[in-house]
Amino acid sequence: MTPTYYLLLSALLFTIGAVGVLVRRNAIVVFMCIELMLNAVNLTLVTFARLNGDLHGQVMGFFVMVVAAAEVVVGLAIILSIFRTRRTASVDDSNLLKY
Amino acid sequence: MTSSSNSWLLAALLLLPLVGAAVVTGLRGNDRVAKLTALGFSLAEFALAIGAWIAYAPDGARIQQHFSFDWIPAFGVHISFGVDGIALVMIAVIGLLVPLVIGAGWAEKLPEGRTAGGFFALILLEQALTVGVFAATDVFLFYVLFEIMLIPMYFLIGSYGGARRQYAAVKFFLYSFLGGLIMLASVIALYVMSADELGGQGTFDWATLVQTVSDAPLSTQIWLFLGFFIAFAIKAPLVPLHTWLPDATAEAPIGVAVLLVGILDKVGTFGFLRYLLPLFPAASEALTPLVLVLAVAGVIYGSLLAVGQSDMKRFVAYVSIAHFGFIALGIFAFSSQAMTGSVTYMVNHSIATGMLILVIGMVIARGGSSRIADYGGMAKLTPLLAGTLLIAGLASLSLPGTSSFISEFLVLVGSYPNAPVYTIIATVGMVFAALYVLWLYQRIMQGPLRGAALVGATGGAAPATVEGGGGVAVATEPETKKILDLNSREKWVLAPLVLLIVGLGLYPKPVLATVQPSVDATMCAAGQTDPVQSAERQLQCP
Amino acid sequence: MTTTLAEGVVDASGAASAAWLLLALPALGAAVLLIGGRRTDKWGHLLGSGTVIAAFALAVVTFFGTDFAQQHNLHLWDWISVNQLVIDFGLRIDALSITFVLLITGVGSLIHIYSIGYMNHELRDRRRFFAYLNLFVSAMLLLVLGNSFVTLYFGWEGVGLASYLLIGWYQGKDFAATAAKKAFLMNRVGDVGLALAIFLMFKNFGSTQYTEVFAAVGDAPTGLIVAIGLLLLLGACGKSGQFPLQAWLPDAMAGPTPVSALIHAATMVTAGVYLIARSSPIYSLPQAADARLVVMIIGAVTILIGCVIGCAYDDFKKVLAYSTVSQIGYMILAVGLGPAGYAFGILHLITHGFFKAGLFLGAGSVMHAMNDEGDIRRLGGLWKKMPITFWTWTLGYLALIGFPFLSGFFSKDEIINAALGQEGPRGWIFGGVALLGAGLTAFYMTRLLILVFLGKARWTGLKSADGKDYHPHESPTTMTVPMIILAVGSVAGGFILSMVLPDFLVPAIGEVQETHGALSHTMVGILAVAISAIGAGIAYLIFGRSEQPVERPQRVTFAVRAARADLFGNHLNEALFARPGTWLTRALVYVDNRGVDGLVNGIAAGLGGSSGRLRRTQTGFVRSYALSMLGGSILVVAALLVVRFA
């Protein structure tokens, strides 16, 4: 098999995710973009696992998914509590931790 | 290096003040008990130091009282200690000064919220660390202690000092720490070089390093030399790396100033002798002009600035800077006389300048100000205090009959054959020394009674209001101050110093005989021979 | 340890082996009095005098019990020894040192006794005074007895300390404190010379012991010998108040008068002469001719300076001080003559010790009686009130100006003769200066005699500085007896000593070299007396026949004004050293605070400032952090790729 298309798709997804993280202000959307980046990486891992014919890449993919799930739990909880106290989900409004 | 021959004496010397610090920390609640306990521990430590001196055989091995065990085997780091004659006399001086410092700090007014227990515990901790620095025979261990030593001192200045104590403490710490980091680079380089030389595992063991790396190429040596030298030159303060010392001395409590000037600074000149000369003989010789210029500049510059000071504590700092110039001159003049002179200078400077600081502290405790202009004609009120100030001053100007004369004379007479021009300039410094000491004495003690601290003051017998022998009692009217002469505690603090100053001035042999074999060994390790040749009694290298 | 001793030097035995007691007794006295404090107030002066008198007795015993054809070496302990450098704490008892020991302890004893009476109005501190005097005697004995240049240096600075303490005795007064400091400092300048000479000796001869140095100097090159000679001379100039370091000695009169008599007339200030005489094996070398010439020039210049300034001063003790300066000039001139003059320098030193101590004690007696009034214009006519003081003082005066057959006549005459005996124009110049000095000495001393003791009593109706009337009276016995003894010594000492001393000193400083100038010895004697008589006569014509005003005349010639201002020596010191020095130290303090420390603080401030600016990049926007992370990652990846493929 040729990995080119898989990798191109993965790179495309990763770029979309990265741009989304950088330009969007809604915390939920930023969050989703991060998931997109993680999954783009997962796709790469699985592609190479298939190419090499072993399971290391797929195992790594599972790890990423587990971490992502944990991250979603913690991240959404933070976003929710911020939204409750500040009535906004914009990341630009939460800039207290600066110089 | 086998652990079977470990010396318990040195281990006890290192551990006793640590234990003391812990115990005194626990006794913070009760000032009096804490003070007495601290004094007890420091006296026991002094007795141990004397014991180590007696046990030391000058003609024996270079490093004695050895004890060692592995610390980080992967990098060949050992916790290993041992003393030669030079380290031994320094440890003895520390042992002498700490009880006196505790005695002098007995009635010290500490800042709000600080306890005497904490203060004395830190002093004991500092003592343990400085003993460790002088006794370390592993270069890595030396580096670690060299840096850790800063921590108690940082708190001693920063928590217990005068008005600008934070500034002084941070400045002190940053200066010393910067030097230490530069040294670390050289220390690591030594390890790498020894690994190349020995094949595989390197070492930090001082004696092994001296044998393996001392014949490195000159350019390498110069870089490593500079790494160590900057650290030591900051510590010892050589001009122009000296500016932390006046601030630190001025802000530190009196006892801490004694430790700072009397002991901590000596680590720098000790480092010259123990590390620079044997490890980098070629670089030491190549860079001698640099060091000599700095040394002589220090003598003259420090003296002139001491003349110009208006604050007593800063005055002492600049006096010390001048004296460190002499010490550095003696070390880098490469003759056994000058080097022996430098080592005894380290001892005698601790005693003489230590006494000078203590006496000035007693003056300040009475007048409440460290500005010289606030005093005048004080001898009328406190003749004994005036006498002790004069004795300390005369020792600082190296009058024959005081111990400092022996060392200054040896430094100069030994330096002259190799470095005549530098020696002549430094000898002129003798005149400046007389000027700054006598002028200080005149302004504080002589002339009619005057100055904001003394006007309206009266001397006389101890009134009932003085508590704990603090010495100063301000009566209800601000016009009549009662300024008292030395009390018995202060006499006990100063008497041993006076005795040593005169005793070692007339009979310096105990110190000379102890340090000379180590000095000879240092000369040989540095590949130097004496400039003045003589048929008998010549420097013998193995 | 045993050092090999040179020829003619033996280990001390018998009375000489107890010589350490000479130093130890006064040192012990000083220690007891200083440590004992108040407890010794009652008997401190007795102990202080007792130790010195005992030392004198011991010195006499040593003198008679020792064979001075040899030099005796007494090793006490190893003092400083590091490899090649071996310095004994040891004594050398020989003809030269025993002569000095007798002078120091003898005059010292008399002055201690005198001080009991003189200091009786300061009972509270009298024992401290005696402690300092004892300290001085001990240090001075070490100076002359030490057997190496370093022990000499020890005593040398020790007497400097004692001198400092005693000049500053009235430490509540600023001028006394300043004078003491000045004395110590100018002495230290000289000490630098002495120290450098010692360094040179160690470098070139490997030792500082007299025996070894003197054994080695013979083949030393000229440059070295001249350098050592000049450096030793610098030391001598500092201690002995010779040009250009003479300015401290008159100021030193701020101390109590017994101090001026003992330290600043009879003993300490003559240490420079001792140093040169002791170093005679160096100065006698043919290589040292240039150094000797400089010594002579210094001596001659100082004779003139001392005399000229002495003529203009109105302060009793300061005139005597400048007289001392010029008389020591004679001694320095004498020892500068080399073998022709050593013995006569020492001879003059001893006779001067007697009559100048007597003159000072007389001055002290006058001031004691006159509420410490030292301005000779406010004295006068005292001979009736204090006859013993007057007569003893007059005998000292006659001895000083060289009245025939009194002690000064013999000693000064020999020096003038030896100076005239130099070859060529040198003889005429130095001899002429010495003769001129004799005339000037007679002039100012006669002026002093007339203004203080003769003429009208100008003090009646005046009040002293502390507002009291003057009630002159003769001094107590403890003061007059020493004066009488010294007066007897001034009269008879010269004759006896000039017979025996030169021969006695031969083992220590060598044979006297006969000189034959253009004038015979008798002619020189007559000439000197005649010139002195002329000087005294002129003084009588000016001051003896008319009343002198109580206020010092202000409309005077430039010469007098210059002399009153110490020939501008102090102005010169002030302009050359004191004021630039003050500016320099102030400038350096500024540079150190602003420049060196400013650089350090500047670096700290620079770091602080730049990090203050850098932290602005922490905006708090998550997106910008994410962007920088992305940028960083891309950089890392790019770098990896470049490394791999490039």
Measured CA to CA, the distance from residue B519 to residue B540 in angstroms comes to: 11
Confidence of residue B330 (pLDDT cuts 50, 70, 90): very high
**Do the Cβ atoms of C177 and B430 come within 8 Å?**
no
**pLDDT score at B468:** 40
Q: Flag whether pLDDT at B475 surpasses 70.
A: no
Nearest CB among B240, B434, B538 relative to C188 is that of: B434
pLDDT digits (tens, 9 = 90+) for B520-529: 999 998 888 8
Shortest Cα distance, chain A CAs vs residue C622, angstroms: 7
Q: How many beta carbons lie within 10 A of that of residue C578, not counting itself?
A: 12
Least confident segment among C120-124, C169-173, C448-452, C640-644: C120-124
Q: Flag whether pLDDT at C539 surpasses 90.
A: no
**pLDDT score at C616:** 85
Q: Give how many domains chain A has, as a whole number.
A: 1
Question: B401 to chain C: which residues are within 8 Å by CB?
Answer: 154, 157-158
* DSSP conformation letters of C392-419: HHHHHHHHHHT-TTSHHHHHHHHHHHHH
Nearest CB among B394, B530, B537 relative to C86 is that of: B537
**pLDDT score at A97:** 78
Percentage of chain C modeled with pLDDT above 70: 99
Shortest Cα distance, chain B CAs vs residue C193, angstroms: 9
**pLDDT score at B416:** 93
**Do the Cβ atoms of A22 and C630 come within 8 Å?**
yes
Q: How many beta carbons lie within 10 A of that of residue B466, not counting itself?
A: 15
| Nearest residue in C to A93, CA atom | C621
**Hey, of C20, C82, C228, which one would you mutate to test binding to chain B, going by the most B CBs within 10 A of its CB?**
C82
**Do the Cβ atoms of C622 and A18 come within 8 Å?**
no
Q: Is residue A95 part of a domain?
A: no
Nearest CB among C615, C620, C630 relative to A97 is that of: C620
Q: Flag whether pLDDT at C195 surpasses 50.
A: yes
Percent of chain B that is helix, strand, coil (3-state, to 5)? 70, 5, 25
Least confident segment among B300-314, C49-63, C519-533: C519-533
Phi-psi region of C380 (alpha: psi -120 to 50; beta: other; left: phi over 0): left
Across residues B474-496, what is the average pLDDT?
76
**pLDDT score at B379:** 87
**pLDDT score at B465:** 40
**pLDDT score at C522:** 85
**pLDDT score at B458:** 67
Across residues C517-532, what is the average pLDDT?
85
Confidence of residue B461 (pLDDT cuts 50, 70, 90): very low
| Nearest residue in A to C624, CA atom | A22
Residues on A contacting C at a C-beta cutoff of 8 Å: 18, 21-23, 25, 30, 91-92, 94-99
* B352 HSE (CA, 13 A, CB side): 33
**Hey, of C621, C622, C634, which one would you mutate to test binding to chain A, going by the most A CBs within 10 A of its CB?**
C622
Nearest CB among C621, C627, C630 relative to A95 is that of: C621
Dihedral angle of Cα B219, B221, B223, B226, to the nearest 10 degrees: -140
C-alpha distance from residue C135 to each of B508, C117, C132, C173 (Å): 21, 20, 5, 23
Handedness of CA C290, C292, C296, C301 (dihedral sign): positive
Across residues C321-329, what is the average pLDDT?
91
pLDDT digits (tens, 9 = 90+) for B426-449: 999 999 999 999 999 999 999 888
Q: Flag whether pLDDT at B473 surpasses 70.
A: no
Q: How many beta carbons lie within 10 A of that of residue C153, not counting itself?
A: 23
Asked whether C and B share 3 or more beta-carbon pairs under 8 angstroms, the answer is: yes
Interchain contact C613–A (C-beta under 8 A): no
Domain ranges of chain B: 294-529
Shortest Cα distance, chain C CAs vs residue B135, angstroms: 25
Shortest Cα distance, chain A CAs vs residue C614, angstroms: 9
pLDDT digits (tens, 9 = 90+) for C63-80: 998 888 888 888 898 999
**Do the Cβ atoms of B410 and C188 come within 8 Å?**
no
pLDDT digits (tens, 9 = 90+) for B70-111: 888 888 898 999 999 999 999 999 999 999 999 988 888 787
Confidence of residue C567 (pLDDT cuts 50, 70, 90): confident
**Do the Cβ atoms of C620 and A30 come within 8 Å?**
no
Shortest Cα distance, chain A CAs vs residue C604, angstroms: 20
Interchain contact B516–C (C-beta under 8 A): yes
pLDDT digits (tens, 9 = 90+) for B220-231: 999 999 999 999
**pLDDT score at B110:** 80
Measured CA to CA, the distance from residue B322 to residue B298 in angstroms comes to: 5
Least confident segment among B247-261, B341-355, C488-502: C488-502
Partners for C (CB, 8 Å, 3+ pairs)? A, B
Across residues B262-288, what is the average pLDDT?
93
Please state the φ and ψ torsions of residue B102, each to the nearest 5 degrees.
Answer: -65, -40
- CA nearest to C87, candidates C132, C13, C153, C29: C153
Q: Are C143 and C274 in contact (CB under 8 A)?
A: yes
Question: A40 to chain C: which residues are within 8 Å by CB?
Answer: none
Q: How many beta carbons lie within 10 A of that of residue A15, not counting itself?
A: 13
Q: Flag whether pLDDT at C378 surpasses 60.
A: yes
**pLDDT score at B460:** 52
Residues 430-489 of B with CB under 8 A from C: 430-431, 434-435, 438-439, 442, 445-449
Question: C594 to chain B: which residues are within 8 Å by CB?
Answer: none
**Do the Cβ atoms of B305 and C83 come within 8 Å?**
no
**Do the Cβ atoms of C589 and B309 come within 8 Å?**
yes
* Average pLDDT score, chain B: 88
pLDDT digits (tens, 9 = 90+) for C463-510: 777 777 778 888 888 888 989 998 988 888 888 888 888 888 888 888
Question: C619 to chain A: which residues are within 8 Å by CB?
Answer: 95, 98-99
Shortest Cα distance, chain C CAs vs residue B290, angstroms: 18
* Residue A56 belongs to domain with CATH number: 1.10.287.3510
Q: Flag whether pLDDT at B462 surpasses 90.
A: no
Q: Is residue A93 part of a domain?
A: no
DSSP designation for C511 = P
Partners for A (CB, 8 Å, 3+ pairs)? C
Of the segments B259-268, B453-462, C411-420, which one has the largest average pLDDT value? B259-268
**pLDDT score at C6:** 55
Q: Flag whether pLDDT at C423 surpasses 90.
A: no
pLDDT digits (tens, 9 = 90+) for B142-183: 999 999 999 999 999 988 888 888 999 999 999 999 999 999
Q: Flag whether pLDDT at C459 surpasses 80.
A: no
**pLDDT score at C314:** 85
Q: Are C225 and C278 in contact (CB under 8 A)?
A: no
Q: Flag whether pLDDT at C188 surpasses 60.
A: yes
Measured CA to CA, the distance from residue C555 to residue C546 in angstroms comes to: 18
Q: Is residue A70 part of a domain?
A: yes
Q: Flag whether pLDDT at B41 surpasses 90.
A: yes
Percentage of chain A modeled with pLDDT above 90: 66
Confidence of residue B482 (pLDDT cuts 50, 70, 90): confident
Both tokens assigned to C209: 């012991």
Q: Flag whether pLDDT at C82 surpasses 50.
A: yes
**E strands within C298-436?**
none
Q: Flag whether pLDDT at B477 surpasses 50.
A: no
- Which tops the pLDDT comparison, C249 or B29? C249
**pLDDT score at B424:** 94
Measured CA to CA, the distance from residue C402 to residue C385 in angstroms comes to: 27
Question: A15 to chain C: which residues are within 8 Å by CB?
Answer: none
Q: Flag whether pLDDT at B1 surpasses 60.
A: no
C-alpha distance from residue C118 to each of B431, C104, C361 (Å): 34, 20, 10
**Hey, of C613, C621, C624, C629, which one would you mutate to test binding to chain A, going by the most A CBs within 10 A of its CB?**
C621
Confidence of residue C4 (pLDDT cuts 50, 70, 90): very low
**Do the Cβ atoms of A92 and C621 come within 8 Å?**
yes
Domain ranges of chain C: 9-147, 148-564, 575-614
Of the segments B239-243, B356-360, C83-87, C509-513, which one has the largest average pLDDT value? B356-360
**Do the Cβ atoms of C623 and A97 come within 8 Å?**
no
**pLDDT score at B115:** 84
Question: A30 to chain C: which residues are within 8 Å by CB?
Answer: 622
* Residues linked to residue B300 through DSSP beta bridges, in sequence order: none
Question: C161 to chain B: which residues are within 8 Å by CB?
Answer: 394, 399
Q: Flag whether pLDDT at C38 surpasses 50.
A: yes
Which ipTM score applies to this complex?
A: 0.91
Nearest CB among C619, C626, C627 relative to A98 is that of: C619
Confidence of residue B469 (pLDDT cuts 50, 70, 90): very low
Confidence of residue B478 (pLDDT cuts 50, 70, 90): very low
Partners for B (CB, 8 Å, 3+ pairs)? C
**pLDDT score at B226:** 94
